[in-house]
Amino acid sequence: MGDKITDLRNEIRDLKASRNPVLVAATKQWAADLQFEVDQLKSNLVDAKRQCLEMCLGSPLLEKAKVNSKPFFRHIFLEVLDP
């Protein structure tokens, strides 16, 4: 999605040079809509990671694991808290 936004911003610059305000407005709206979608997807990803972590913490399989879980959970907590 980042490439699409960059392409649209370049298109906005080119359209501004051609001075067609209708096309500039339409392209700006398209870029804004895409940015909104990106923000929603990022938020959904954070929520999904948080739910996954909550499920893992409550899993009986975790008790059976013969691994040192502290570094593993530290990594997951950092991903959830700082996406």
Residue numbers of the domain that contains 44 = 2-81
Residue 29's pLDDT band, with cuts at 50, 70 and 90, is very high
How far apart CA 82 and CA 46 sit, in angstroms, is 9
Share of the chain above pLDDT 90, in %: 13
Residues 6+ apart with CB under 8 A from 11: 27
Domain count, the chain: 1
CA angle 71, 47, 72 (to 5 degrees): 10
In angstroms, rounded to a whole number, what is the distance separating the alpha carbons of residues 28 and 26? Answer: 5
Q: How far apart are the first and last CA of the chain?
A: 17
pTM: 0.52
Mean pLDDT across 55-73: 58
